[in-house]
């Protein structure tokens, strides 16, 4: 365990060009609950508490950078930008940028089913690592970590929202062409709390046009809207 954590610290020091003063919590940050459950003799805790804190630290750093970059934008638009940056898919991609999946400690069952590539595990571990860096090395190093992994996304946050906010674009289409707004309905919610799958459909005036599954309601709604937009462009919605 310690060797893996030390290897990850060395990697971070190299890519961030910093010296990490303390690394004790980083070992904990890499421990998924499946590993801890399968190894009770180690008497250690999983990374879920760190993940909780990391989410808050990430929110502060991202909000600060968006506030600085878009001085003329209102709160509502800044919130959309932040949502486009701080979500499971985005954080998982940022985790892949630093090969985080290669360092996370998983139980045998989770590892055998591709756990190191699961977006939910990658995004949660990313936040846990951020919290560990914050607690033991301070906000400045935490900020460097976020900017290294997410800096390019922050720079084009407005473009990302316009490109990927299918739900807003579909609503605008429906209001313009059908004089109403789409309705999103949760059809099912399966799986444990840490790995839920939501199935959602989108309807207009009671008629269903698309349905999709995702690891969050927002993700499922966006997928539904994307499908519906494609149908609208082909004249399949009227």
CATH code of 126's domain = 1.10.1520.10
- Distance CA(213)–CA(184), nearest Å, equals 12
What per-residue confidence (pLDDT) applies to 178?
92
Q: How many domains does the chain have?
A: 2
Do 37 and 74 lie in one domain? The reply is yes
Do 58 and 133 lie in one domain? The reply is yes
Which structural domain, as residue segments, surrounds residue 214? 166-233
What per-residue confidence (pLDDT) applies to 164?
62
Model pTM above 0.85: no
238 falls within a domain = no
Specify the long-range contacts of residues 133-138, CB closer than 8 Å, at least 24 apart.
133/20, 133/26, 134/53, 134/54, 134/57, 135/25, 135/53, 136/20, 136/21, 136/22, 136/23, 136/24, 136/25, 136/26, 137/20, 137/21, 137/22
Do 9 and 110 lie in one domain? The reply is yes
Q: Which residue has the tokens 């309601």?
A: 217
pLDDT tens string, the chain, 238 residues long: the values are 566 788 898 999 999 998 887 778 998 999 999 988 888 877 788 999 999 999 999 999 999 999 999 999 999 889 988 988 998 989 999 999 999 999 999 999 899 999 999 999 999 999 999 999 999 999 999 999 999 999 989 888 877 666 667 888 898 899 999 999 999 999 999 988 778 899 999 999 999 999 999 888 888 998 999 999 899 989 999 7
Number of helices and strands in the chain (H, E): 12, 3
156 falls within a domain = yes
Do 130 and 220 lie in one domain? The reply is no
Do 152 and 207 lie in one domain? The reply is no
Do 138 and 34 lie in one domain? The reply is yes
Measured distance between the N- and C-terminal CA atoms of the chain, rounded to whole angstroms:
58
What per-residue confidence (pLDDT) applies to 156?
84
What per-residue confidence (pLDDT) applies to 167?
85
Do 181 and 150 lie in one domain? The reply is no
What per-residue confidence (pLDDT) applies to 20?
87
What per-residue confidence (pLDDT) applies to 196?
87
Do 36 and 97 lie in one domain? The reply is yes
For the annotated catalytic residues, the residue numbers are 55, 127
Domain boundary pick from 160, 184, 207: 160
Phi then psi dihedrals of residue 127, to 5 deg: -65, -35
Strand partners, 207: 204
What per-residue confidence (pLDDT) applies to 210?
95
């Amino acid at each position: 365990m310690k060797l893996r954590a030390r290897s990850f610290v060395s990697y971070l020091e190299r890519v961030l060009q910093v010296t990490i003063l303390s690394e004790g919590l980083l070992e904990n940050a890499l421990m998924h609950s499946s590993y801890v459950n399968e190894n009770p003799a180690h008497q250690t805790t999983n990374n879920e508490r760190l993940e909780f804190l990391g989410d808050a630290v990430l929110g502060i750093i991202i909000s600060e950078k968006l506030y600085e970059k878009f001085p003329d934008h209102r709160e509502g638009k800044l919130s959309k930008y932040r949502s486009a940056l701080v979500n499971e898919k985005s954080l998982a991609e940022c985790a892949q940028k630093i090969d985080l999946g290669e360092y996370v400690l998983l139980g045998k069952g989770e590892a055998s089913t591709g756990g190191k590539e699961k977006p939910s595990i990658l995004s949660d571990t990313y936040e846990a690592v951020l919290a560990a860096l914050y607690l033991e090395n301070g906000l400045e190093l935490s900020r460097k970590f976020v900017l290294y992994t997410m800096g390019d996304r922050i720079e084009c946050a407005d473009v990302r929202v316009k490109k990927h906010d299918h739900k807003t674009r579909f609503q605008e289409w429906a209001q313009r062409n059908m004089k109403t707004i789409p309705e999103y309905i949760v059809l099912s919610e399966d799986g444990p709390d840490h790995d839920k799958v939501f199935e959602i459909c989108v309807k207009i005036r009671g008629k269903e046009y698309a349905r999709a599954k995702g690891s969050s309601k927002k993700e499922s709604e966006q997928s539904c809207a994307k499908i519906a937009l494609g149908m609208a462009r082909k004249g399949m919605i009227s």
